[in-house]
Amino acid sequence: MYIYICLINGVHFYSKSKIYVIMSSYSIIEHYGGITKEEPLSCVDNDILLKNTCVLEAVSPFFGYYSQVQYSTKPQMLYLVTDDFVSLETLMRITIKIQKKVKFPIDAVTGSVSLFNQTCHIIRFLNIPKYDQIATLQRLYQEHGITYKKKMRSFQNEMAMIKLRRFFTLIPVDKGVYLEHEHPNFGYFAIPEYIEWEAFKSLTTEVKYDTDLLYFDAATAYIYENRSLTDLVRIYRENLTADKLIAIKNKYIKLLG
């Protein structure tokens, strides 16, 4: 378990009911944990990739949100399918070295993708600026010992279960409610117990019956803290505010009884 607290000056979180602010500072708490979500994936078919490797793209990332709203741009998520599991420690050590060699920022986490009754190990990259940089990253990670699963078949828009392991930089805005410092469109709130995915999907659909709470993507999450696990719901929507996040949280908690 890793927990770091940093003090940052002069930041306010506004809401209709309160101003979330500590006069001179607020806490950023960093936790290690994971995310489980479901999104459609497609194979990237492009000659610029390393030959006979498998790269997947989230054609509709944050499906619960972007399938419902108009947008001009959306996040780009790519998944390099690897032969073996890559621990987060190994990935971070390699990424630190590679980041010194490229001019664009690397946001990489480790995880797995399950589809067609098969589970594959992956490295997820967020917002790679240009497609021709994918092969550059493939080669650089390969030079540091990462090997890739061979491409077996092409497919488009197949729903997949995705599990990611990563760090969370959380800013408390209410009891058990957090916004993410590095990704401000993400919010999280604690729930009393773990919910299996199919039950969680049904619960989220019921929450969205409240028309005031439409237009968000939801996933399950967890963090390690106090020698235990805390189960969370992860919410994604553009321009997420503390008020909107708390309203969504209250509906989930009410339905959970």
Distance separating alpha carbons of residues 246 and 162, to the nearest angstrom:
26
Q: What is the pLDDT of residue 78?
A: 94
pLDDT above 50 (res 207): yes
Supply 45's token pair: 């078919």
Q: Is residue 166 part of a domain?
A: no
Both 111 and 130 in one domain: the answer is yes
Query: What average pLDDT does the segment 60-87 reach?
Result: 86
Averaged over 193-213, what is the pLDDT?
A: 92
Instruction: Compute the distance between CA of residue 81 and CA of residue 93 in angstroms, rounded to an integer.
Output: 19
Residue 35: name the closest of 128, 125, 167 by CA.
167
Is 236 exposed, middle or buried, given 0-12, 13-18 or 19+ CB atoms closer than 10 A?
buried
Task: Report pLDDT digits (tens) over 208-229.
Answer: 988 777 789 999 999 998 889 9
pLDDT at 26: 59
Taking 90 as the threshold, does the pLDDT of residue 204 lie above it?
yes
Amino acid letter for position 123:
I
Average model confidence (pLDDT) across the chain: 87
Domain count, the chain: 2
Cα-based distances in Å from 57 to 73, 117, 216: 15, 19, 21
Q: Is residue 123 a part of any domain in this protein?
A: yes
pLDDT band at 203 (very low <50, low <70, confident <90, very high): very high
User: Longest C-alpha distance within the chain, in Å?
Assistant: 57
Question: CA distances (Å), 83 to each of 29, 121, 123, 149, 163, in order?
Answer: 33, 7, 11, 5, 17
- Quick one: 28 and 67 in the same domain? no
The verdict on 149 and 227 lying in the same domain is no
Q: Is residue 70 part of a domain?
A: yes
* Whole-number Cα distances in Å, 48 to 52, 133, 217, 247: 11, 9, 32, 45
Q: Residue 72 — pLDDT band, cuts 50, 70, 90? A: low
pLDDT at 255 over 50: yes
Give residue 226's domain range.
Answer: 4-33+174-256
pLDDT higher than 50, residue 13: no
Is the pLDDT reported for residue 155 higher than 50?
yes
Nearest CA to 5 out of 15, 20, 18, 22 is that of 22
- Residue 150 and residue 187 share a domain: no
| pLDDT tens for each residue of 133-144 | 899 999 999 999
Q: Examine residue 86 and state whether it is found in any structural domain, yes or no.
A: yes
- pLDDT given at position 63: 86
28 and 83 share one domain = no
Burial of 124 (0-12, 13-18, 19+ CB in 10 A): buried
CA–CA separation, 40 and 28 (whole Å): 32
- Tell whether 228 is covered by a domain: yes
233 has pLDDT over 80: yes
Is there a single domain that holds both residue 129 and residue 58? yes
| E-state strands within 9-61 | 13-14, 19-20, 26-43, 55-58
- Rounded to the nearest 5 degrees, what angle is found at the Cα of 76, between the Cα atoms of 73 and 89? 145
Highest mean pLDDT among 44-48, 71-75, 207-211, 238-242: 238-242
Among 120-129, 173-182, 185-194, 203-212, the range scoring the smallest mean pLDDT is 203-212
- Residue 98 resides in a domain: yes
pLDDT of 29 higher than 50:
yes
Do 203 and 105 lie in one domain? The reply is no
**DSSP H/E element including 114:** strand 108-115
Is the same domain home to 68 and 108?
Answer: yes
pLDDT of residue 32: 94
